[in-house]
Amino acid sequence: MADQDQADHGEFVLPHHGPGNDVHPPNFRQNIPQKVPGAPNVPPLIHVGNFRERNPPIFRGLHHEDVVEWIHQFQRVSAFNQWGPVQQLRHIEFSLEGVAATWLSGLQPRPQTYDGMIAALQEAFRHHNYAMELESRLRARKQKPDEPVMSYCYDMIYLCSRVDPGLTEERKLQFIFQNMEPALMQRVLPQMGQLTTNELFRRLQAHCQASLMAERSIPVNNIVPVPPVNKKEEIEKLVRDEVSKSLDPIVRRLEQATRTMGTAGGSGFNSRMRTPERG
């Protein structure tokens, strides 16, 4: 009855198992990806309704490619798409290109199970001394000049998990600090109350936030001071401007009259001569 009420309200309800109910979630057990040595297992997902499948990554068998990392990514896609072992085997064959596809074409006998195919791939393409190579990558990883510090730290934690999933917090911090920007380490390390990665990340995020706020603000030294206003000089300037505007028309008329008088004098006209009176 409770299930019926939940269904009426639009909630998804898994059916009960019992004598009177023989309904099971489709392809639940058979779609669980199998555990593969060398790659973390990913728990399956249960999708309700239609969903769009993810495309699996491509592996070409090139020297710089990491087959163990590729297997891990393939398993993540398999879990999301709810592929069972048979579907995984079919998709993995079409996820190989280049050298890897050529290798598969000549592989005899070809593995008939997903686990067998994964084991064959690791035997063919996993680098020799793989653990030593991972540790070398971890030790050589350095923070790039323009790289955000959190990007560097998260990548270091990922490499640490690849080298040794049980690595202690102290060892993780040692690997992070040894190739971090020295000035940043000197500012953050003394503030850490606990030597843990969570404490380090909390301090680094606070530092990054403070740096961002400082970049957005205007330093006091860069503010151009406004010179004090001299009231007397300002009033005198306003008076001069107003007087100049008032006198301009008068000055122009005087100049025009002066030019007119000069022109009349040049023509022989004597302004002092009077017109004779008539008797």
pLDDT digits (tens, 9 = 90+) for 188-236: 888 888 889 999 998 888 888 888 887 776 665 665 565 665 667 777 7
d(C-alpha 98, C-alpha 88), whole Å: 20
Domain segments of the chain: what residues? 27-127, 130-216
Q: Does a cis peptide bond (omega within 30 degrees of 0) precede residue 111?
A: no
**In the structure, what pLDDT confidence band is assigned to residue 179 with cuts at 50, 70 and 90?**
confident
Q: Which pLDDT score, from 0 to 100, does residue 102 have?
A: 95
Q: Which residue has the tokens 């010179």?
A: 227
Average pLDDT on 261-269 reads: 60
Residue 135, classified by CB atoms within 10 Å of its CB into exposed (0-12), middle (13-18) or buried (19+), is: middle
Instruction: Considering only residues 238 and 173, tell me which one the structure prediction assigns the higher pLDDT.
Output: 173
Does pLDDT of 274 surpass 60? no
Q: Which pLDDT score, from 0 to 100, does residue 187 have?
A: 84
Does pLDDT of 277 surpass 70? no
Amino acid in position 234: E
| pLDDT per position as a tens digit, 95-141 | 999 999 999 999 999 999 999 999 999 999 998 888 888 889 899 99
d(C-alpha 196, C-alpha 265), whole Å: 106
Instruction: Considering only residues 231 and 43, tell me which one the structure prediction assigns the higher pLDDT.
Output: 231
Number of other CB atoms surrounding residue 167 within 10 Å = 17
Q: Which pLDDT score, from 0 to 100, does residue 216 have?
A: 77
Does pLDDT of 180 surpass 70? yes
d(C-alpha 203, C-alpha 199), whole Å: 6
Q: Which pLDDT score, from 0 to 100, does residue 27 have?
A: 42
Three-class secondary structure assignment of the chain: CHHHHHHHCCCCCCCCCECCECCCCCCCCCCCCCCCCCCCCCCCCCCCCCCCCCCCCCECCCCCCCHHHHHHHHHHHHHHHCCCHHHHHHHHHCCECCHHHHHHHCCCCCCCCHHHHHHHHHHHHCCCCHHHHHHHHHHHCCCCCCCCHHHHHHHHHHHHHHHCCCCCHHHHHHHHHHCCCHHHHHHHHHHCCCCCHHHHHHHHHHHHHHHHHHHHCCCHHHCCCCCCCCHHHHHHHHHHHHHHHHHHHHHHHHHHHHHHHHHHHHCCCCCCCCCCCCC
For residue 187, what are the contacts with CB-CB under 8 A and spacing of at least 6?
207
Q: Which tokens hold the place of 173?
A: 């911090």
Instruction: Considering only residues 3 and 250, tell me which one the structure prediction assigns the higher pLDDT.
Output: 250
* Range 130-216 classified under CATH 1.10.1200: yes
Q: Which pLDDT score, from 0 to 100, does residue 47 have?
A: 52
Q: Which pLDDT score, from 0 to 100, does residue 264 have?
A: 63
Mean pLDDT of the chain: 77
Q: Which pLDDT score, from 0 to 100, does residue 225 have?
A: 60
- Residue pair 197/169 in contact (Cβ under 8 Å)? The answer is yes
Q: Which pLDDT score, from 0 to 100, does residue 273 have?
A: 46
Q: Which tokens hold the place of 191?
A: 């503030």
Longest dimension (CA), the chain: 154
Q: Which pLDDT score, from 0 to 100, does residue 11 have?
A: 39
Q: Which pLDDT score, from 0 to 100, does residue 189 have?
A: 84
Q: Which pLDDT score, from 0 to 100, does residue 91 have?
A: 95
| pLDDT per position as a tens digit, 44-85 | 555 545 668 899 999 999 988 999 999 999 999 999 999 999
